[in-house]
Amino acid sequence: MEEPVKAKKEHLICGKPVLGAAAFLLCAYFAYASFADVRDGDFYWQNGWWIALTWAVWLVFSAGLLSETRCWRERVLFGSVLTVLTIGLILCLWSSATPAAARRAREASLGLWSLAALAALSSLQRPAQPQN
């Protein structure tokens, strides 16, 4: 008996210029917003149950997308987003965070959004096909 050939799943973002460009623009925007917060000394995160719920929904959504990745570029992109959303949820729930902790979290989110933007930019080209 011949085993059925499994269809190779497509990459989620790699090689799809519209999705890669959209991911880059969104991550670059959030990186700039984090930079502006650090530059202006605005380190505190908004608190509230509705905001925490929003962070949690985006966190679950990005975890689901991370499970669908096929290459290192997508893993870096969605892993960075997952990490920054986790930081956001924690700081949203932690209303008594010290200024130093809030500052480090803002700086970490700046770095992670920048990394995600670079990963999105690298996903614009099609993944290399293995040689036979």
Nearest partner of 29 among 117, 112, 124, 115, judged by Cα: 117
pLDDT digits (tens, 9 = 90+) for 58-71: 999 989 888 888 78
SS3 category, 94: coil
Distance CA 65, CA 81 (A): 10
* 19-56 tens-digit pLDDT: 889 999 999 999 999 999 999 988 888 888 999 999 99
Q: Of the given ranges (3-12, 42-51, 66-75, 115-124), which has the lowest mean pLDDT?
A: 3-12
The DSSP letter of residue 108 is: H
Query: How far is the C-alpha of 7 from the C-alpha of 83, rounded, in Å?
Result: 31
48: left (phi over 0), alpha (psi -120 to 50) or beta: left
- The distance from CA 91 to its chain's CA centroid, rounded to whole angstroms, is 17
Amino acid making up residue 77: L
